[in-house]
Amino acid sequence: MDLVANPPASLAALVAHTQRGDWAPGEQHPVLEWAGWLYGWLVAIPVSVALYGAAWLLQRPGRLAALVTIVALLALAT
């Protein structure tokens, strides 16, 4: 898979996909629809938020340095 030509979906697209139930085309058994919705909200979206945040943080050294500084100051304060 080429991530440059086909980047991952945005968080907004992932939320819309989960809300519409696009993972199961057509009418599906309600249990399957519920399972897909539950997976989207409890697994796919939270994990994507965490990983998108990590990617954003690691893309610039200054962001990471700021985070390390804040964590170190908080550790010293406790």
Domain ranges of the chain: 30-77
What pLDDT, in 10s, does the model give residues 41-72? Answer: 999 999 999 999 999 999 999 999 999 999 99
CA 7 to chain centre: 14
**Residue from 52, 68, 57, 67 nearest 11 by CA:** 52
pLDDT at 16: 92
The residue-averaged pLDDT of 36-44 equals: 92
What pTM was computed for the model?
0.75
Can you tell me the mean pLDDT for 12-35? 82
Q: Can you tell me which residue has the tokens 């804040």?
A: 70
Report which of residues 6 and 2 the model is more confident about: 6
Alpha helices in the chain (DSSP H): 11-20, 30-39, 45-58, 61-77
